[in-house]
Structure 1
Amino acid sequence: MRVLMVSWEYPPVSIGGLASHVEELSQALVEEDVEVHLITQGGEVSDRYAEENGVYIYRVDKPDISTPDFLTWAMLVNYNFLEVANRLVNELDFDLIHIHDWLVGFTGKTLKHSYHLPLVVTIHATESGRNHGIYNSHQQYINDVEWLLGYESWRVICCSEYMREEIHGLFQTPKDKIDIINNGVNLDTFDVEVESGFKDKYTDGNLVFYIGRLVQEKGVQHLLEAVPQVLSTAPNTEFVIAGKGPKLDELKDQAHRMGIADHVTFPGYISEEEKEKLYQVADTAVFPSLYEPFGIVALEAMASKTPVVVSGVGGFDEIVDDGQDGLKALPGNPDSLAEKIIKLLTDHNYAESLRNNGYRKAVEEYSWQGIARQTKEVYNQVLTKYLDSDWRHVEPITTI
């Protein structure tokens, strides 16, 4: 089976969790005898063509023309993707196309109709979910593209029951067209050696770790509001809030206004190695999201044997069994966050129990190989219907 995959992100271009998801999935699919050709961004920062762990990667340069807004620029990136995709489809026989999220939607739609190939779409999040509604024309456009992807695809993949309900509710995509395939975690990635004294560069006491985009829906503002309560019980505690995003300066200002800046470190973007070491030395990892389609960071913490506190929303609500392998706080509630953090910092036997149970869950339920097998099953289902359909016999228009 040969699949043409298109993704806005792929290492080294990484904005959120999408890049790592596509990387791990595509490499695991290769182990399942799927030949994956991936088109993505990054021609300016890495090899334009490379074979990496069995995946054929085509990195496209960014457009070198000014545009009036991001949406126009994103469309130009799709044109660049199509230049490469058209050449590939004419040279190789692909069985289907698999795209990730709205940003590459028009590449997928155009290839589907130009070459009469079935389209599979993974929707990782929605514009309405990220913003708790649609409030302007920019958001409405993205929302409409997401609807279009659900309409054009042969199957839609999402990462949780929460997301299936959201996609069905927003776009009226039939539930029996939506497959739930969880994200996974690579356990080997988080089995790292941490040099002596690593934790000391951040703190000589407790370390509370957050990593993720610094945007409204990640709820970091509520984590900061919880800090004074935590410090009242565990004063020798440092909060390391890693990541970048449009809220960074605002969050730094909030920490200064609250008088907690001496206990909060904002390292910005950190390397994968630094992230893995921080997970290892953290006393707890906290993810206070207001919206979370899946929540792969919780799995990363579990794989690192770090006890987690998450908001009881979205995918987090499905991953974490409260009191068994992690703790759930009320969304947007600093008092609830503080209570859970204090519990883990002060009850070491309880934290150790959650640590062990969380690691066991990551090992047993969230391997990438199992996720790749489920994805291949979706591919096979699509191909069976495609081969029986009249649509595949319609000749694409080659001349006008």
Structure 2
Amino acid sequence: MKLLITAETYPPDVNGSAQFARRLAHGMLERGHEVHVAAPMPTSGPSRIMADRGVVEHRFRSHHAFTHPYFRICFPWEVAREVTRLFDELQPDVVHIQCHYILGRLVAREASRRGIRLIGTNHFIPENIEPFLPFPEWFIKGYRKVSWWDLGRVYGRCDVITAPTPLAVRTMVDNGVADRALAVSNGIDAGHYEAAEGEEIGRQDHPVVLFCGRLAVEKNVNELIEALALIPREKNVHAEIVGEGEQLDRLTALAHRLGVAERVHFLGFLTDEELRRAYLRADVFCQPGTAELQSLVTLEAMSASKPVVLANARALPHLADEGRNGYLFAPGNPGDLARKLQLVLDAPEEQRRAMGERSHQMVSQHSFARTLDRFESLYGGASR
């Protein structure tokens, strides 16, 4: 099949939606399909075609969203004709949109008008965007309502709608989107995060709590730093924080103010291999975010056989088998987070190993091969 995957955010952007879209594109390419991606240009300048190891990227002229560190917006009056021309030239068999914003809606409208099979996957919740909107609360509430209405309108054109988890599906329905979406996991290649036989990981001589993700408001990394300050200093627990984002300066200042700066390590952006080794050397993985529709980084940590301590919010409770692979903590409560981290770190080595093994077992249902099978079936005409 000739596939056109459309993403409003795509690498070099670093977020779960962008990473999934690229993994999907390359996964389908490896299965023998011809894969094209429509996405905003990552920099200023005219639209252009780029190549990424066999995947053809159609990058459309875009502009920096001034309130967001990297998100870029395509103006419809600049790209609408280019979208039409792309369909004229490409004539795809299937179109798969990842968002309902400007590029997604233009592509969905064009696919619908031409009778091309249209799949829509939703990674969006308003909480991902709201921290970047400099408006009063009454406006934010209105934006939230309109956003869900708009999503339902755009995705109403789709032959099939999916979301990463049953919770994400229910969230859409609860906010007025038609009750016909399917839960299809973003998937993960669990074997990639396992230690190779005989591999030396180089573990630290102190306990390590790991966080990976954008340093954004909704990730609540401040709660991890505050929890670290509540753990007795003699336990010498360190936090490794992987990722970049607009909250870095604030989080660095917080670590200094709480007297734990020497035990909080901001590692920035890591390569895939560096990230894999960060998972493997950690003692426990922590995700304090409250706007996760699935949390690929948590699945990656679980693939590396790590216990987890997760916020009891959104999709995260589905990834914690309480007391068996980790614990949930009350969002906004660093004291509870500190207690749950200590439950893991103070447990005997054998118990921590068993918790990690349970994490690894739980990830099996999120195989990326199964995800590709599912979407390939939907592309081919399946409705369930």
TM-score grouping bracket, smaller chain normalisation: 0.7 to 0.9
Alignment of 1:369 with 2:369, yes or no, is yes
Q: How far 1:228 moved relative to its partner? A: 2.2
Q: Secondary structure at the match of 1:152?
A: coil
> Hey, what's the Cα distance between the residues in 2 that align with 1:222 and 1:68?
27
> Hey, what's the Cα distance between the residues in 2 that align with 1:220 and 1:79?
38
For structure 1, which segment, 13-22 or 30-39, has the greater mean C-alpha deviation from structure 2 after superposition? 30-39
2:327 is matched with 327
- Out of 157, 160, 168, the position equivalent to 1:152 is 157
Using the aligned pairs only, state the percent identity: 22
1:397 is matched with none
> Hey, what's the Cα distance between the residues in 1 that align with 2:200 and 2:278?
13
2:163 aligned partner, one-letter code = C
Check the 8 A contact 1:8/1:40 in 2, yes or no. yes
Check the 8 A contact 2:292/2:315 in 1, yes or no. yes
> Hey, what's the Cα distance between the residues in 1 that align with 2:181 and 2:50?
33
Give the TM-score of the pair, scaled to structure 1: 0.81
Check the 8 A contact 2:97/2:108 in 1, yes or no. no
Q: Deviations over 1:336-361 (max 9, x none)?
A: 21122112211122211111111122
Check the 8 A contact 1:242/1:267 in 2, yes or no. yes
Check the 8 A contact 1:79/1:107 in 2, yes or no. no
The 3 A distance-change label for structure 1 pair 326 and 272 is same
Higher relative contact order (CA 8 A, sep 6+): 1
Give the TM-score of the pair, scaled to structure 2: 0.84
1:187 is matched with 190
Check the 8 A contact 2:208/2:284 in 1, yes or no. yes
1:392 is matched with none
Q: Secondary structure at the match of 1:377?
A: helix
Q: Which runs of 5+ in 2 are unaligned?
A: 132-136
The 3 A distance-change label for structure 1 pair 190 and 157 is same
Q: How far 1:130 moved relative to its partner? A: 5.8
Check the 8 A contact 2:65/2:73 in 1, yes or no. no
Check the 8 A contact 1:126/1:146 in 2, yes or no. no
- Out of 158, 165, 170, the position equivalent to 1:165 is 170
- Out of 178, 188, 191, the position equivalent to 1:174 is 178
Q: Deviations over 1:190-244 (max 9, x none)?
A: 2466986855xxx531111101111222121211221123234x53221111212
2:343 aligned partner, one-letter code = K
1:289 is matched with 289
Q: Secondary structure at the match of 1:266?
A: strand
The 3 A distance-change label for structure 1 pair 32 and 329 is same
> Hey, what's the Cα distance between the residues in 2 that align with 1:276 and 1:81?
40
Q: Which runs of 5+ in 1 are unaligned?
A: 386-400
Q: Secondary structure at the match of 1:174?
A: coil
1:274 is matched with 274
Richer in helix (by share): 1
Q: Deviations over 1:74-118 (max 9, x none)?
A: 1338944862x4344223442221111234323323322442323
Check the 8 A contact 2:211/2:285 in 1, yes or no. yes
1:155 aligned partner, one-letter code = V
The 3 A distance-change label for structure 1 pair 184 and 81 is farther
Q: Secondary structure at the match of 2:231?
A: helix
* Aligned-pair Cα RMSD in Å: 3.3
